A = this chain, B = another copy of it.
Amino acid sequence: MEELLKKILARNKHLTKQGKVADYIPALKKGDPNDLGISIFDTKGNIYIAGDYDKKFTIQSISKVVTLMLILRDWNEEKVFRKIGVEGTDDNFNSLYKLDMPHIGKPANPMVNSGAIVATSLIKGSSSEEKFERLLNFFRTLTLNDNLVVNEEVYLSEKETGDKNRAMAYLMKNKGLLQGEVEEILDVYFRQCSIEVNCKDLSNIALVLAADGKNLSTGEEIVSKKIADIARTIMATCGMYNASGQFALDVGFPAKSGVGGGILGVIPNKMGIGVYSPALDSKGNSIAAIGVLKDLSKELDLRIY
């Protein structure tokens, strides 16, 4: 298996030259475009790693899956989806025009920025510090990694340049779709996006999702089966932004990407995958990571559709 991974990485290495490391946040530009790594944890306890599997990067939008799981623990499903939709969209991940239309009453889904900001606002806690604290602890539980921290440089950079997110948040607040202080909500949001992980951390989160919400080592239920089902399903239809349909065709299992270059993939009841390569395509997804997942899906017959 590790031979296969090495082969697949080698085969896709040239794709790292094609994309562009995210530059909308100055601190992100520092990612090494040559990096390419993968880590797979299966439900039988096997671990497979290859390439730059231990390089750190910020989790970015992949955090949206974790926040979704947390608010589904904090609140019931009905309440959450009264405020955030569950439909895929062909608009960009940071689009906001539709929220200005009188007939639109909530963001499309929790994987686009507007929906993720509402999701973050729903984390329980008496202050934004407490909310983030709870979220970070939840991340640590999912990754089995107590050392997980925020990359302060990226966080400050996000905060400084996050004007499109501010626009969305203020628009939603004005329309009654978002409650609370915008800057406080965004502060938690920018922090969650700036948590530093590596491929193994992603695999751990993904494995919990593959195992219907359980920590397989301890047998502990971290989230209910229902929440794991929801998270995987929304990843399947919305996880790769407005390239989710293409990804479903090309790869064929639930996944979530981040502009840090990571992709978290889940094969239900089989395995959790983390891939990393920071050079992105025009829709904000890692080109080489998608290439790797495509090959992996074909070689191991992982399509679920």
State A24–B70 Cα separation when bound (angstroms).
35
Q: Contacting A238 at CB < 8 Å: which of B98, B109, B245, B305?
A: B245
Most B C-beta atoms less than 10 A away, residue of A86, A87, A164, A243: A87
A215-B303 Cα distance, complex, nearest whole Å: 21
Q: Does A258 interact with chain B (Cβ within 8 Å)?
A: no
Are B233 and A244 touching (Cβ within 8 A)? no
Mark contacts of A167-193 with chain B using CB atoms, 8 A cut-off: 1 yes-contact digit, 0 otherwise.
Answer: 111110110000000100000000000
Q: Is A305 a contact partner of B268 (Cβ separation < 8 A)? A: yes
Give Cα A234–Cα B254 distance, bound, in whole angstroms.
14
Tell me the A151-177 residues at the B interface (CB within 8 Å).
163-164, 166-171, 173-174
CB neighbours of A232 from chain B (8 A)? 305
Q: Output the least CB separation between A149 and chain B (Å).
A: 28
Q: Which of A28-36, A59-67, A100-108, A120-128 contacts B (4 or more CB under 8 A)?
A: A100-108
Q: Which residue of B lies closest to A96 (CB)?
A: B100
A76 within 8 Å of B (CB atoms): no
A85 part of interface (Cβ distance < 8 Å): yes
Number of interface residues of A (CB under 8 A): 49
- A229: which B residues are within 8 A, CB to CB? 249, 252, 303, 305
For A95, A232, A249, which residue has the most chain B Cβ atoms within 10 angstroms?
A: A249
Report which of B91, B96, B109, B173 forms a contact with A163, defined as CB distance below 8 A: B173
Q: Does A246 contact B (CB under 8 A)?
A: yes
Contact A245 B90 (CB under 8 A): no
A89 partner residues in chain B, CB cutoff 8 A:
87-90
Is residue A242 within 8 Å, beta carbon to beta carbon, of the partner chain? yes
Nearest-neighbor residue (CB-CB) of A235 within chain B: B305
Given A96-B100, A163-B174, A305-B304: A248 touches B243 (CB 8 Å cut-off): no
Chain B nearest Cβ from A251, distance in angstroms: 10
Q: Is the CB of A236 closer than 8 A to any CB of chain B?
A: yes
A25 close to chain B: CB less than 8 A: no
Q: Which residue of B lies closest to A173 (CB)?
A: B163
B-chain residues with CB within 8 Å of residue A296 when the two chains form the complex: none
Could you say which residues of chain B place their CB within 8 Å of the CB of A95?
100
Q: Report the bound CA distance from A183 to B167 in whole Å.
A: 12
Q: What residues of chain B lie closer than 8 Å to A243, measured between beta carbons?
A: 87
Extra pairs beyond A97-B101, A166-B166 (8, CB < 8 Å) = A90-B109, A96-B96, A96-B97, A100-B100, A102-B102, A164-B171, A167-B171, A233-B305
